[in-house]
Amino acid sequence: MPLILLVVLVPLVVIALMPFILIQRYRVGSARRLARPWMATVGVISMTFSSIFFLVSAGITNIWIPQSFSYAAIGLGIGVVLGLLGLVLTRWESMPQSLHYTANRWLVLVITFVVTARVLFGLYRSILFAEGSLSATSAISAFGIPQSLAAGAIVIGYYLAYTAGVRWRIRVWQRRSLRRM
């Protein structure tokens, strides 16, 4: 009984806390940060792994749901473009001992909105399925799954390009700092 209660309660608590989680994600994403080389490297590695795993999963999903892979690939491309735009719009503060950066608030807000829309759409589809408005066959083939994959891919592509760009910018700053010494 306690296990069943836990399995039911945890998702409900996460759903109830989702507005706070998204607001906190926006605050963290738009805060001034110290550019740490190891964190940027870990970010690039993890986002590379995530994007590869995501595209492989979308490719497998494409067997049952047409256009899943193409929507995921297009979303990843859009995310990479947004990540590069984010690098251009990022405010960089170079000091002798450290490099700080602040991501563009509007772009972080757009990415947070994409995540919010994807979560809300998934919640909406879950409610429809629970009410019986969607049958098991129409739930699989219904509108929205490839588009939802595209939304997720936009976020993955954005962070892949952005963290790679931050890592590149840190290397450039480190080389300049070494030359000054």
Q: What is the pTM of this model?
A: 0.82
Average pLDDT over residues 159-179: 91
CA atoms within 13 A on the CB side of 94: 9
Cα gap 161→62, rounded to integer Å? 25
Average pLDDT over residues 139-158: 81
pLDDT-derived band of residue 29, with 50, 70 and 90 as boundaries? confident
Query: Largest Cα–Cα distance of the chain, in whole Å?
Result: 69
Q: Is the pLDDT of residue 141 over 80?
A: no
Give the chain's length. 181
Instruction: Give the SS3 label for residue 78.
Output: helix
Q: Is the pLDDT of residue 133 over 80?
A: no
> Residues 63-75: pLDDT tens digits?
988 899 999 999 9
Average pLDDT over residues 83-103: 92
Identify which of 105, 88, 121 has the alpha carbon closest to the alpha carbon of residue 25. 105
Kindly report the backbone phi and psi dihedral angles of residue 102, in degrees, each rounded to the nearest multiple of 5, phi listed first. -130, 120
Average pLDDT over residues 170-175: 91
